[in-house]
Chain A
Amino acid sequence: MVELVLFVIFALAAVFGAVTTVWARNPVYSALGLMLTLFSVAVFYVSNGAHLVAAVQVIVYAGAVMTLFLFVVMLVGVDRAENRKENLPVQRPLALGLLVLFGGAVLVAGRFAWVTGPSGGRAREGTAEALGNELFRRWVLPFELTALLLIIAAAGTIALGMFRPGEEGGEEDEGEAA
């Protein structure tokens, strides 16, 4: 019963936040809507027994990633109105038609029991201990690979940040790909 009430409330919040993210003219409102959706998804994680994942969701997504997004929104400028004129004439109708089709297909497909498996037992709680056992035993090699991925991403970002337009000695504006 509690889960039903929580589901209804936060499902509405998540969908509202998602629609706000897509439709808001101001990117700051988009970021706030996205934050609402991220928090709602964290609540769903908790009601699915994924406690550690919920904590990481709030810390990493709602904390770090949203801070980064808002920082860039402020840097790029919020008062700059987006040009909503569509250059491709069929893009919007085609996109909406495809989306309705896709959403209907996914919802219809969801009515079949795709989620089948050996054990339909009760949910396992995603405590830090259980998930740590999973990550550091079975998935330890992919886990180390994510560390490599993060280092590469950080190095690439630093390389992008070191690049300044006009410091490379007289190249033309169009030429170099940073």
Chain B
Amino acid sequence: MIVTPGWYLALAAVIFVIGASGMLLRRNALVMFMSVELMLNAANLSFVAAGRALGVLDGQAAVFFVMVVAAAEVVVGLAIIVAVFRRRATASVDELSGLKG
């Protein structure tokens, strides 16, 4: 049996759905961030697999840019989590209702 790019795309879909479930079902801001990383990695994997199927390097170039955006997002997001934690001593998004009318 030969591993076709479709297999990688299917695996990326599975990982993406698991990440989305973490985003929807968890309340811990840190775990939600990790779920975002899962989804980004699933997208990266599908970029690379599709690029291989087409015989081009554009997919790998796209992965580079996704990685940069993910790194910037993690840095800012974790700084926000730490800032919120210093103020509220919690990482649960349910307890951050300060903007509720």
Contacts and interface: CB of A to CB of B under 8 A. Distances in A.
Partners in one complex: yes
Interface of A: 3-4, 7, 11, 14-15, 18-19, 21-22, 27, 30-31, 34, 37-38, 41, 44-45, 47-50, 52-53, 56-57, 60-61, 64-65, 68-69, 72-73, 75-76, 80, 82-84, 87, 91-92, 95-96, 98-99, 102-103, 106-107, 110-111, 115, 117-124, 126, 130-131, 134-135, 138-139, 142, 146, 149-150, 152-154, 156-157, 160-161, 163-165, 173-174, 178
Give the top 8 A-B pairs by smallest Cβ distance, nearest first.
A153-B72, A22-B22, A95-B24, A121-B55, A106-B13, A103-B17, A117-B54, A18-B18
Nearest to B94: A87
29 contacts: A7-B7, A14-B15, A15-B11, A18-B19, A18-B38, A21-B19, A21-B22, A22-B38, A44-B45, A44-B49, A48-B5, A50-B48, A50-B63, A53-B60, A57-B67, A69-B34, A72-B30, A75-B85, A110-B9, A115-B50, A119-B55, A120-B55, A134-B60, A135-B61, A153-B71, A153-B72, A156-B79, A161-B79, A178-B87
